[in-house]
Amino acid sequence: MTFFINLVDMKYTWKPTGKNSYDVIDRKTNKTKFTASRADLVLGSNSILRSYAEVYAQDDNKEKFIKDFVAVWTKIMNADRPNLKKLN
């Protein structure tokens, strides 16, 4: 959750530091607060992916994030195990 909150927070600016890395800088203090990857930048800059990030960044969506994360994690972990019976 904190990841998404910081990702969409407008108090930070992103500065490239290499081919695939960025410093996330506090606009007030001009100090580096976090480092990030190109994948992190895509989540914050692509309009569709950002909309998902904004949903998970909301204060009242912690339970939704956990539920969605567990569902996706389970699906990924079981993707190459066709011998498992479906529970649904």
Any domain includes 10:
yes
The total of other beta-carbon atoms located within 10 Å of residue 53's CB is 17
Any domain includes 37:
yes
State if pTM tops 0.85: no
Any domain includes 81:
no
The 3-state secondary structure of 22-81 reads: EEEEECCCCCEEEEEEHHHHHHHHCHHHHHHHHHHHCHHHHHHHHHHHHHHHHHHHHCCC
Any domain includes 76:
no
pLDDT of residue 1: 75
Contacts of 35 (CB under 8 A, 6+ apart): 17, 21, 22, 23, 24
Domain count, the chain: 1
- Which structural domain, as residue segments, surrounds residue 7? 2-59
- pLDDT, tens digit only, all 88 positions of the chain: 788 988 999 999 999 998 889 999 999 999 999 999 999 989 888 999 999 999 999 989 989 999 999 999 999 998 888 777 665 5
Any domain includes 70:
no
Any domain includes 45:
yes
